[in-house]
Structure 1
Amino acid sequence: MANYIIEKRNMFNKDYLKVMLKDNTHLATIQKLLQEIQSISKVNITDNKRTDITIYPSEFYSAEETEEEVKIQLESFYTSQPLDPIFEADLLSKISSKAYDQIINEINVFGLNLEKYKSLYSKFDEEGFRDFFLPHLNSISRNHTATGETFNKIGKTDMLIQDSIGQNVFIAECKIWYGEKELLKAVDQLLERYVTWRDEQVALIIFNKHNAGFTSILEKSKEAMKTHSGYSSLVKENTQTSVSYLFMNADDNKKKIKIELMIFNCS
């Protein structure tokens, strides 16, 4: 049975959405989640016969476009598990592998949901893809904050998750696929500009937007990663489109960094 119902309504020639939840336990959390979506101007909790959520689209978005974004966010919210990353006792700089894997899984699930909505992702540039993921990443933990274009080391990384005292727990960079050379430049950017000595688990998220032959892109990207000068080893292939590698820290070759390469087909 569905966890929510969405209805499109109109008042004074302006379309808006009503979202009715099966269970209102997470009403405030979902309001916060939806309010961060770029296509939404305002989200109100409304007391009618049954408390529901009223959503007003932003000026440059139709109610239909906003509804698609709301559906993806809600589907991902209801299929995810609460996440509170923990640190290993002997390495304060290292987020637990379990928590890192959970974050990677959330991004993969959310990205796979996005692939179903061409009318939505066709309008995204790199910034649009990044902004689309952030509300969901912010909803999966009570004690952590996900931000975009956040300064770290000598540049602004696309996605940064920090704990309640500002320590980094996850860094990710988003790129549109333009070939192997650009992929390797993105690895350089991640390692040289954004990763400090204490950052040990990061991700590179690639979106194929302009090319046919997705299988070939997957093969080329995986081989290209192994040619990078900082490449150390392949950890594991989690799925066909999500692969873990070990790289050397750009400033300390004895320090290893785990990079998850995730690729989504949005063409």
Structure 2
Amino acid sequence: NRDKVNAFNNEIGPLLTINPEVERFNSNLRSRASAEFQKRKNQCLSENAFFRAINVSPNDVPYKVPVPTVKKKQVPHPGVKRQEYKPYPSMDDRMYVDILQTLYRAGQAMERKPSTYINKDEEALRDLFIFRLEDRYDSATVTGETFNFGGKTDICLKDSATNANLFIAECKIWHGPKAFGEAIDQLFDRYLTVRDSKVALMFFVAGNEFNSVLETIKQEAPKHKYFASYKGKREQSSFSYMFHLPTDLEQKVFLEIMAFHFPKA
């Protein structure tokens, strides 16, 4: 009898202790799982709301970069042979508009959040704009400080397949009308080739006379030697122009000039 009692206590006794604990655990399992699920769900909803607030929609633009087949062109002059051009990637106008809208919205969002621009230099501000473009287009890559022609461009968007330039942007701290003209000179004289047709200049204004800066841009841009035509105001501080290359009056370039107010204090 003693051995029987001992065997029972050794084999069955622990189960009598463990079973109530297991039952308590199992009874709370559904509520614990629901709580963990709800916690993770709320986290995802919060992240989605944040990205919607800053207008981040990665890879939501279905535009592809068309590569047109250019036929031989008959030059209407006697004695001149037909000239053959190789196909070169060209960016869809809708994609160009989307790039400009993305950059402008990024600048607007930064204006509302001083911590994103205070104590940051031109390169640091440029990187924030690159961040908004980096993963937006499946068929293109975005780089900073990219060598092109005679210098390094601040922002360069390239066709992923051919590595051809699609879009170039230059970022500058606003230093007045004279520096404004020099910035256009730098972009057109040093960075653009005959293959570059869609570009932008982005100015970061630290002073308090922001509206005065916008008026200066509208007055000085038509005076530039490469100016061709004014295409209109796209946004409150974003202006569309047509310029031409220094070496070819007929080679037109879409130039968007943007300004953002990033005061020092």
Which residue of structure 1 lines up, in the alignment, with residue 90 of structure 2? 94
Where does structure 2 lack aligned partners over 5 or more consecutive residues? Answer: 1-41, 71-87
- Whether the 8 Å contact between 1:144 and 1:162 is mirrored in structure 2 is yes
Measured at CA, do residues 243 and 85 of structure 1 come closer, stay the same or move farther in structure 2, by a change above 3 Å?
farther
Among candidates 240, 254, 260, match of residue 258 of structure 1: 254
**2:150 counterpart of 1:145:** no
Among candidates 61, 74, 80, match of residue 82 of structure 1: 61
Which residue of structure 2 lines up, in the alignment, with residue 220 of structure 1? 216
Which structure has the larger Rg?
Answer: 2
Among candidates 168, 172, 176, match of residue 173 of structure 2: 176
Displacement after TM superposition at 1:236 (Å): 1.5
Residue 105 of structure 1 aligns to which amino acid in structure 2? Q
* Distance across 2 between alignment mates of 1:265 and 1:104: 17
Residue 20 of structure 1 aligns to which amino acid in structure 2? Q
Alignment of 1:1-267 (within 5 A): 20-22=43-45, 75-78=54-57, 81-82=60-61, 84-87=63-66, 89=68, 92-164=88-160, 165-209=162-206, 211-267=207-263
* Distance across 2 between alignment mates of 1:74 and 1:152: 35
TM-score (norm. length: structure 2): 0.71
Q: CA RMSD in A?
A: 2.4
- Whether the 8 Å contact between 2:168 and 2:199 is mirrored in structure 1 is yes
* Distance across 2 between alignment mates of 1:226 and 1:80: 36
Deviations for 1:156-208, whole angstroms, at most 9, x for unmatched residues?
00000001120111000000111011011110111011111010010000110
Q: Which SS does the other structure have where 2:219 is aligned?
A: helix
Displacement after TM superposition at 1:118 (Å): 1.0
Displacement after TM superposition at 1:73 (Å): 9.6
Which residue of structure 2 lines up, in the alignment, with residue 33 of structure 1? none
- Give the strand-richer structure, 1 or 2: 1
* Distance across 1 between alignment mates of 2:59 and 2:234: 18
Residue 116 of structure 1 aligns to which amino acid in structure 2? R
Residue 203 of structure 1 aligns to which amino acid in structure 2? A
Displacement after TM superposition at 1:78 (Å): 4.0
Displacement after TM superposition at 1:244 (Å): 0.6
Which residue of structure 2 lines up, in the alignment, with residue 14 of structure 1? none
Where does structure 1 lack aligned partners over 5 or more consecutive residues? Answer: 1-18, 27-70
- Whether the 8 Å contact between 1:84 and 1:144 is mirrored in structure 2 is no
- Whether the 8 Å contact between 1:83 and 1:140 is mirrored in structure 2 is no
